[in-house]
Amino acid sequence: DGNADEEFARRVRDAIAALEARGVGFAGLIMDQVLTSDGVYTDPVGFMAPVREAVREAGGVFIADEVQSGFGRTGTHMWGFDRHGIVPDLVILGKPMGNGLPIAALVGTETLLNTYGDTFRYFNTFGGNPVCIAAADAVLDEIERRDVLANVVATGALLRQGLDETLAAHGIAATVRGTGLIAGGDLTNARESVAESKELVGAIVNGLRERGVLISSTGPRGTVLKVRPPLIFQSEHVSRLLAALDDTFTHLAS
Ligand SMILES: Cc1ncc(COP(=O)(O)O)c(C=O)c1O
């Protein structure tokens, strides 16, 4: 509803209070900025802001996990936290950073990183690998050179609209959410029971896999289709995905 952001912040405050009451204390909150593994909740834009404030008020560290949302996944912004208009204390980068090569990074405020560096001796067997760093450098260049973000906005809109239309054409009650090239098709109410909806989502994921298209499922009940293609996805790839989806539904109905 319209107060989802304030409700979210209230629950975080309650959780912080519960930790304090138990004598555990509160260190910080880590948040995926597009909640990919939680059912794809990307909107309304800015809904992370009251939570970010709640963390600041409690003296905690707000950590933006950009492993899924970073490097232009949302299309409108390079970073998910930027889309929500917030400034985190720490930012985690990973997965797309090396376009397949293993590399991750932690970005943070000078105060936090200096305090950490002065207090602990950091060691990492594979840290500072020049090959992976070259890959990460190339990724940043390619994002700029290919104007990847503009493609993400345009192709992402086609993808979400196409998913919506294809689900509706087959009489499936669904809500399609997302931004850029992260789309979630929520089929929780598509069947009589959540268990049956989950079964349908599994059948769709497998049907697409058999047709050469890889997607996944997400959400606490496994009832949301998770579509998160490469950022170079084009309209012809959207068409291929939708044709496979259409064929899957036809097969499931027969
Ligand atoms: C939001 C998010 N953060 C972190 C990770 C973990 O990344 P890694 O496997 O590189 O540790 C994942 C993995 O999929 C993720 O989805």
Q: Where are the domains of the chain?
A: 4-145, 148-253
Q: Is residue 65 within 6 Å of ligand 1 at its C-beta?
A: yes
The model's pLDDT over 31-76, given as tens digits with 9 standing for 90+, comes to 999 999 999 999 999 999 999 999 999 999 999 999 999 999 999 9
Q: How far is the CA of 86 from the centre of ligand 1 (A)?
A: 21
Fold of 4-145: Aspartate Aminotransferase; domain 2 (3.40.640)
Q: How far is the CA of 228 from the centre of ligand 1 (A)?
A: 14
- pLDDT grade for 126, boundaries at 50, 70 and 90: confident
For the segment 159-164, the average pLDDT, to the nearest whole number, is 98
Q: Is the pLDDT of residue 1 over 70?
A: no
The span from the CA of 73 to the CA of 228, in Å, is 9
Q: Is residue 108 within 6 Å of ligand 1 at its C-beta?
A: no
The domain over range 148-253 is classified in CATH as 3.90.1150.10: yes
The model's pLDDT over 72-117, given as tens digits with 9 standing for 90+, comes to 999 999 999 999 999 999 999 999 999 999 999 999 999 999 999 9
Kindly report the backbone phi and psi dihedral angles of residue 231, in degrees, each rounded to the nearest multiple of 5, phi listed first.
-70, -10
